[in-house]
Amino acid sequence: MARMQPKPSLHQELLEQAVGGAFRHAGWKVVSRPRIEDVRPDLLVRRGDRQYAVAIKSSSAPRRDRLVPLLAQAILEARAGASNADVSPRPQPLAIVGARGLSGSLVGDLRSFAARVAPDVSIGIIDLDGSRHFVGPDLEELNSSAARLPRGIWLPSLAPQLHLFSDLNRWMLKVLLAPAIPEPLLNAPRERLANVSELARVAGVSPMSAFRCVRLLKDAGFMDEPSPMLRLARVEALLDRWRAESLKPVPELPMHWIIPGNRDSQLSEAVLAYSMNWESAQSPVRSRQAGRPLPRVCLGLFAAADALGFGFVQGVAPHLYLERPDPLALERLGLAPARPGQRIDVFIRIPAFRESIFRAAVQRDGIPVCDVIQVWLDVADHPSRGASQAKELRRVLDAAWKRASG
């Protein structure tokens, strides 16, 4: 017999309505309090082949001692709702907590807690002043920041604040820039696009996502309006703004080789072996056994600049992008966390914009490598001659665009 569900508080109802409204605005189908056997997630959201069972918890105060237990409870309920779902596609768990007046450090603490105890669960952290912080596949476009409202004003709706440099928008920008950039430097379709529908088709995104991206570009003056084709304008200014948006610290995980080898070739050999086995690791049998496929990887920063033929910075531990924290992936790569005082052989980066990074990655001798735009963005503020490396890569980008425009 199904358990009786307690009546949600007003804070909880408003948070659920706001979260549901944000998903609907982004083109998701939303079902409130669906019946899944004897477990009732707060929301079931779906767009295309992606579906989430959502558990939402609200707090009247932005306190760590309240929000961490609430997030833990939401994680458990989201997992239960997802595992008991008799729907197709099977939903993934999404745990959301919300309060008003969240500090940046508290948001960071909540994200770290979730990554430590439940890396398989997507999360959302909602500040009822208007900002949202989502971590999970296809969720980054829901992220937003907002100015704080005066005390005493409650925000019952979280209308999404569209961001020109969201994950999928970054990918579509690479698609729009691709015709000017040599194929060995950027993996993306290279077609002349007449409209938003064609952009959605070639980029592999929803028409709504493509429409929003083009609208934002037009609003910012980065589209050639008189042109009958989708064509970027003021590309140098666009790249400058993109770089400014990307100058933010990215967490890096220091790693060392479990079995030391040739430092000049060990990473390339490990990534090549991992990539060669990647497709078999994604088989339905493996996915059913392990619960989710292995994460994607690609060389980043100075290691990627070397692979693309433009590197000149030496003596820096190489960087490897890993789609998400995954012990099995690290084991297959032969890496383990470096202890204090231990030599750092590799830095692992977990990207915030995973689709724009991994979709655009190129292959060099069977090894996935970040594209030239991504490398330029990533090295720009690195203390080890990153500015010099970025200047060289920017020269390559500017020259490519000048040739295409001439």
**Domains located in the chain, CATH noted:** 10-142 (3.40.1350), 167-247 (1.10.10.10), 252-398 (3.30.460)
Confidence of residue 13 (pLDDT cuts 50, 70, 90): low
Residue 284 has pLDDT above 60, yes or no: no
pTM for the predicted model, two decimal places = 0.60
- 50 touches 94 (CB < 8 A): no
pLDDT, mean of residues 379-384: 87
* DSSP β-bridge partners for residue 39: 36
Confidence of residue 292 (pLDDT cuts 50, 70, 90): low
Top mean pLDDT of 19-33, 123-137, 359-373 is at: 359-373
Of residues 394 and 3, more confidence is placed in 394
The amino acid at 141: E
In angstroms, the Cα distances linking 393 to 7, 140, 141, 290, 389 are: 58, 27, 28, 40, 6
Residue 233: other Cβ atoms inside 10 A: 16
Q: In the prediction, which pLDDT does 4 show?
A: 44
Residue of 386, 385, 390, 354 whose CA lies nearest to 372:
390
Least confident piece of the model among 56-60, 157-161, 247-251, 311-315: 157-161
* DSSP β-bridge partners for residue 30: 45
Q: In the prediction, which pLDDT does 281 show?
A: 54
- 163-180 pLDDT tens trace: 889 999 999 999 999 999
Residue whose structure tokens are 């990534």: 271
Output the average pLDDT for the chain.
84
Q: In the prediction, which pLDDT does 163 show?
A: 80
pLDDT, mean of residues 283-289: 45
- 237-256 pLDDT tens trace: 899 889 888 877 777 889 99
Q: How far apart are CA 202 and CA 141, in angstroms?
A: 19
Confidence of residue 92 (pLDDT cuts 50, 70, 90): very high
Cα angle: 236, vertex 237, 240; to 5 degrees: 90
What's the token pair of residue 38?
A: 């004897």
Q: In the prediction, which pLDDT does 229 show?
A: 85
Residue of 287, 308, 303 whose CA lies nearest to 362:
308
Confidence of residue 282 (pLDDT cuts 50, 70, 90): low
- 187-216 pLDDT tens trace: 999 988 989 999 999 999 999 999 999 988
Q: Tally the C-alpha atoms within 13 A of residue 271's C-alpha that lie toward its C-beta.
A: 26
Q: In the prediction, which pLDDT does 34 show?
A: 66
* DSSP β-bridge partners for residue 308: none
Confidence of residue 36 (pLDDT cuts 50, 70, 90): low
Residue 35 has pLDDT above 60, yes or no: no
Phi, psi values for residue 366, rounded to 5°: 85, 0
Between strands 335-337 and 297-300, the pairing is unpaired
Confidence of residue 37 (pLDDT cuts 50, 70, 90): low
Q: In the prediction, which pLDDT does 49 show?
A: 87
- 117-127 pLDDT tens trace: 999 999 999 98
Q: How far apart are CA 402 and CA 134, in angstroms?
A: 38
Q: In the prediction, which pLDDT does 374 show?
A: 97
Alpha-helical segments (H) within 56-147: 64-83, 104-117
Q: In the prediction, which pLDDT does 379 show?
A: 92
